[in-house]
Amino acid sequence: MTGSNDEVAVAGRDGTERRTRSQLRDIFEQAYTVAAPLLDPKQGLSAGGGSAHFLRVVLHDNFPKLQQQDISILSVSIERVFRERNKVASH
């Protein structure tokens, strides 16, 4: 399916939600708030390399009940959203 509407993009052909980890969506903004400073080049952390690993460590420290796979999904999502939000903010 194509479309910019989030609800359209995540619905399956039969209209059901295809995402299975709704708890990640529930904590995303909180996790983003924790992680965004780590990704900000002005902070100097992302320039040093290894930021993906450090991001996962920080997320695990803040959300210790999450499984490793969920930490990985969350960190990749946070990095993507950070790039998108900063692309919009810089224009």
- Mean of the pLDDT values across residues 25-34? 95
- Whether 66 maps to a domain, the answer reads yes
Q: Is 11 part of a structural domain of the chain? A: no
Task: Count other Cβ atoms within 10 Å, centred on residue 24.
Answer: 17
Give the pTM.
0.70
* Residue 36 exposed, middle or buried by CB count within 10 Å (0-12, 13-18, 19+): middle
Question: Quick check: helix, strand or coil at residue 3?
Answer: coil
* Residue 10 included in any domain: no
Note whether residue 46 is domain-resident. Answer: yes
How much is the mean pLDDT over the chain?
79
**Does residue 16 fall inside a structural domain?**
no
The Cα–Cα gap between 67 and 35 comes to 17
Domain presence at residue 12: no
- In which domain, by residue range, is 29 found? 21-90
Q: What's the structural domain count of the chain?
A: 1
Q: What is the pLDDT of residue 22?
A: 87
| Confidence at residue 91, expressed as pLDDT on a 0 to 100 scale | 58
38 occurs within a structural domain: yes
Burial 77-90 (b: 16+ CB within 10 A, else e): bbbebbeeeeeeee
The percent of residues in the chain predicted with pLDDT above 90, rounded, is: 47
6 has a pLDDT exceeding 50: no
